[in-house]
Amino acid sequence: MTDSGPPVVAPGAPGAPGARAAAASPAGAAAAAPSRRITAVTSGKGGVGKTFVSTNLAAALARAGRRVLVLDADLGLANLDVVLNLWPKITLHEVFTGKAALADAILPAPGGFSVLLAGSGMVEYSRMTPEVRLQLQRVIDEVAPRYDHVLLDTGAGISDLVLYTVSLAAHVLVTATPEPTSLTDAYATIKVLAATQGRRHIHLVVNQVRRPGEGRSVRAQLQQVVDRYVSPTLEAPVRIELLGEVPTDPAVREAVLRRQLLLETLPGTAASLAVVAMAARWPQ
């Protein structure tokens, strides 16, 4: 990203402010703050590695003895089932429509963590209706107390659905690659989350780095633009914290093609070790 001006951000990001409170009660009473266990893994640009990070970070945390659940929050374009090679009859769809109990939709994943899958092709869920809001919040509130970490693998961008899902989480983990398009979109996401959800602390994973240390320089570039164009418009500055960087590694694609978790199938590879290092730095 150059310093020539603020990256373009879609004006008036819809739906996020007070989304949780509005969904919590028809009367609009304030809801409790999201549980500190809940983290939204999100990104500006699509395809930058959110699902890779969510699932492998979950496996690394599980290996460290934590109870972890990953929820496929990309409801309209869900693909956690494909990545993990799990084909359950009961998904969030059955839970949302009252056909199955929540407990029956929670499955053990190969990496030692639990998953709640949305099922592929549930296009009707790509629109954020009040019903979907309520169902999603109810499910997350119900599962959160049973886990040390709940990771919401969200869609990309700043749609209503993505912003609402992120609003249900206490922590935000933005995934970006060093590509200028990804950085510009990460900036847009951080700006909208700061302005509409009062976010002042963003965790960052820089995926697909080409050299060691590139994550630090990406963080510094993003922080510089945020300091210049976003923080002055707010009462308190936004801090971007680098959780870690992951190198570009052909093993990641290989694991996806095998439909297995990288940490399980190719554990000694550079990307695998980078995720394990990130898990060690993850806040308790």
Ligand X SMILES: Nc1ncnc2c1ncn2[C@@H]1O[C@H](COP(=O)(O)OP(=O)(O)OP(=O)(O)O)[C@@H](O)[C@H]1O
Least Å distance, CB 250 to ligand X, is: 6
Helix (H, G, I), strand (E, B) or coil at 41: strand
Q: Which is nearer to ligand X, 24 or 151 (CB)?
A: 151
| Phi/psi of residue 199, nearest 5 degrees | -70, 130
Least Å distance, CB 51 to ligand X, is: 3
Of 7, 15, 44, 49, which lies in the binding site for ligand X, with binding defined by CB under 6 A? 49
Of 36, 127, 253, 281, which lies in the binding site for ligand X, with binding defined by CB under 6 A? 253
Asked if 175 is part of the footprint of Mg ion (rule: CB under 5 A), the reply reads no
Asked if 51 is part of the footprint of Mg ion (rule: CB under 5 A), the reply reads yes
Task: Give the interface segment with ligand X, choosing from 29-37, 87-95, 137-145, 243-251 (CB under 6 A).
Answer: 243-251
Q: Say if residue 165 is exposed, middle or buried (CB neighbours under 10 Å; 0-12, 13-18, 19+).
A: buried
Near ligand X in 60-99, by CB under 6 A: 74
Which sign, positive or negative, has the C-alpha torsion 94, 96, 97, 100? positive
226 Cβ contact list (under 8 Å, min separation 6):
187, 190, 191, 194, 238, 240
Least Å distance, CB 51 to Mg ion, is: 3
Asked if 51 is part of the footprint of ligand X (rule: CB under 6 A), the reply reads yes
Least Å distance, CB 209 to ligand X, is: 8
Query: How does 23-43 read in b/e, with b if 16+ C-beta sit within 10 Å?
Result: bbeeeeeebeebbebbbbbbb
Q: Which is nearer to Mg ion, 83 or 90 (CB)?
A: 83
269 binds, among ligand X, Mg ion, none (CB under 5 to 8 A by kind): none
Asked if residue 68 lies in contact with residue 149, where contact means CB atoms within 8 angstroms, the answer is: yes
Asked if residue 41 lies in contact with residue 173, where contact means CB atoms within 8 angstroms, the answer is: yes
Least Å distance, CB 267 to Mg ion, is: 22
Q: Which is nearer to Mg ion, 184 or 207 (CB)?
A: 207
d(CA 137, CA 139): 5
Helix (H, G, I), strand (E, B) or coil at 225: helix
* Stretch 139-168: interaction string toward ligand X, x if CB under 6 A: -----------------x------------
Tokens of 213: 């240390």
Residue 163: HSE in the Cβ half-sphere, 13 Å Cα cutoff: 24
Of 39, 52, 194, 245, which lies in the binding site for ligand X, with binding defined by CB under 6 A? 52
Contacts with Mg ion, residue ranges (CB under 5 A) = 50-51
